Structure 1
Amino acid sequence: MQTEKVIDHIVKWLRDYATNAHIKGFVIGISGGIDSAVTSTLCAKTGLDLLCLEMPIHQSEKQVSRASHHIQWLQDNFAHVKRQEVNLTPVFDNLVAALPPVDNEEDRFMSLANTRARLRMTTLYYFAALKGYLVAGTGNKVEDFGVGFYTKYGDGGVDLSPIADLLKTEVYTIATFLGINREIIKAPPTDGLWGDNRTDEDQIGASYPELEWAMRMSDQGKQATDFSGREREVFLIFKKFNSANQHKMVPIPVCEIPTGLK
């Protein structure tokens, strides 16, 4: 990958898109993870306004600290970068208290994890409308188009996706080139939706390099029977997530009414 040229291309794409839409800048949620760190830095390099939101919901101290350090680094290195913390923990807790109890607490736990992402999306769009900004997405290619590892209408609810054509390993390459804080680069990827230390790999069952391999194999038309051992296991994991999450990755189905019925 021609890293510097890819960076320049994305920055120009962001600037041109915002300028053509008569938009003043971008708003982005900073999680303390690699994807939001890289995306926010690319947005900052446009020279347009950038509002970085910290939106903790029972967040681990390490994630909060990494996010804060990154925003400070952005402000030290780029003009037009502002920060805003919105503590969504009481909002989340009040919503949980208002919801009826369920029989299966594990199902409730999963629903509430996705609810965290949707509360953050709502907050991002509040500030986007207030400031006249675009919501910048942080999904990479494997998450967005491989395994669908994001929340529908949560972190998947964005105006534009600057790094969605980059594999996770490529995001790390760009992060190193940009000088992103080492604490972020070294931190295991996590969606931060569970209030504990579980990583993306814990949830998916495979690492991002493994998923990238499986995505390539799938694109080449390979089948599970073509592999054995760990390769077969990873390929099946990829296909399971890819199949289950197609509803996120394809357009919303529309019931088309036959002309004769109208």
Structure 2
Amino acid sequence: MQTEKVVNHIVNWLKDYATNAGMKGFVIGISGGIDSALTSTLCAKTGLEVHCLEMPIHQSEKQVSRALNHINWLKAQFPKVRMTQVNLTPVFESLKDAFPEVENEEDRFMSLANTRARLRMTSLYYFAAYEKLLVAGTGNKVEDFGVGFYTKYGDGGVDLSPIADLLKTEVYALAAHLGVNQEILDAAPTDGLWGDNRTDEDQIGASYPELEWAMEMNDEGKTESDFEGRQKEVFKIFKRFNTMNQHKMVPIPVCEIPKELKK
């Protein structure tokens, strides 16, 4: 990959899009992970305004620390970068209390995890609306178009996706090239939606390099019967997530009414 040329291409694309849309810049949620670190750095390199939001909801101290360190690093380099901390933990707890009680709390773990992402999306659009900013998405190609590992109308609710054509390994390559903090480069990828230290690999059952391989094999028309051992297991994992999450990757279905019924 021609790293510097890819960086310049994305930065120019971001700047052109925002300028043509009549917007002042970008707002982005900073999680302490590699994807938001790279995306915010690329946005900052446009020279436009970049509003970084740090939005903890029962977040681990390590994630918060990495996020704040990255934002401070950005602010030291780019004068138009600013930050707001929005503590969403009490909002999340109030919303939880407003929902009906359930017999088994574990039954709604996934719903509550996705609720965290949707609260953050709401916060991003609050600032975007009155500051004339675009919400920059942080999803990469494997997450957005491979396994659908994101929350619909949560971190999937964005105005534009600058790194969605980059594989996770390419995200790391660009981030390293741009000098993103080593602690972020070394941290295991996590969606940060559970209030613990579980990683993406813990949840999915495969690493990103493995998923990239499976995505390539799937694009080539391979099937489960073409593989054995760990490769077969990884391919099955990829296909399961890809199939289960198609509703995130395709347009919302519209019930089209036959013209003769409207006469």
Question: Which TM bucket (shorter chain)?
Answer: over 0.9
Q: Counterpart amino acid of 1:135?
A: V
Q: Secondary structure of the residue that 1:152 maps to in structure 2?
A: coil
- How far is the alpha carbon of 1:2 from its aligned partner? 0.3
| Structure 2: distance between partners of 1:94 and 1:75 | 33
- Counterpart position of 1:195: 195
| Structure 2: distance between partners of 1:103 and 1:228 | 42
- Counterpart position of 2:39: 39
User: What are the within-5 Å matches in structure 2 for residues 213-252 of structure 1?
Assistant: 213-252=213-252
Counterpart check, 1:91 vs 2:91: yes
- How far is the alpha carbon of 1:105 from its aligned partner? 2.2
- Counterpart position of 2:109: 109
Q: Counterpart amino acid of 2:8?
A: D
Structure-1-length-normalised TM-score: 0.99
- Counterpart position of 1:27: 27
Q: Counterpart amino acid of 2:171?
A: V
Structure 2, unaligned runs of 5 or more: none
- Counterpart position of 1:157: 157
Q: Counterpart amino acid of 1:56?
A: P
- Counterpart position of 2:170: 170
| Structure 2: distance between partners of 1:80 and 1:155 | 24
Structure-2-length-normalised TM-score: 0.99
- How far is the alpha carbon of 1:102 from its aligned partner? 1.9
CA RMSD of aligned residues (A): 0.5
| Structure 2: distance between partners of 1:128 and 1:213 | 37
- How far is the alpha carbon of 1:130 from its aligned partner? 1.2
Q: Secondary structure of the residue that 2:19 maps to in structure 1?
A: helix
User: What are the within-5 Å matches in structure 2 for residues 49-128 of structure 1?
Assistant: 49-128=49-128
Percent of matched pairs sharing the same residue: 78
| Structure 1: distance between partners of 2:236 and 2:107 | 24
- Counterpart position of 2:137: 137
Q: Secondary structure of the residue that 2:51 maps to in structure 1?
A: strand
| Structure 2: distance between partners of 1:9 and 1:41 | 14
Large movers: runs of 4+ above 3 Å = none
| Structure 1: distance between partners of 2:86 and 2:196 | 20
| Structure 1: distance between partners of 2:190 and 2:17 | 29
- How far is the alpha carbon of 1:193 from its aligned partner? 0.1
| Structure 2: distance between partners of 1:69 and 1:130 | 27
Structure 1, unaligned runs of 5 or more: none
| Structure 2: distance between partners of 1:50 and 1:238 | 35
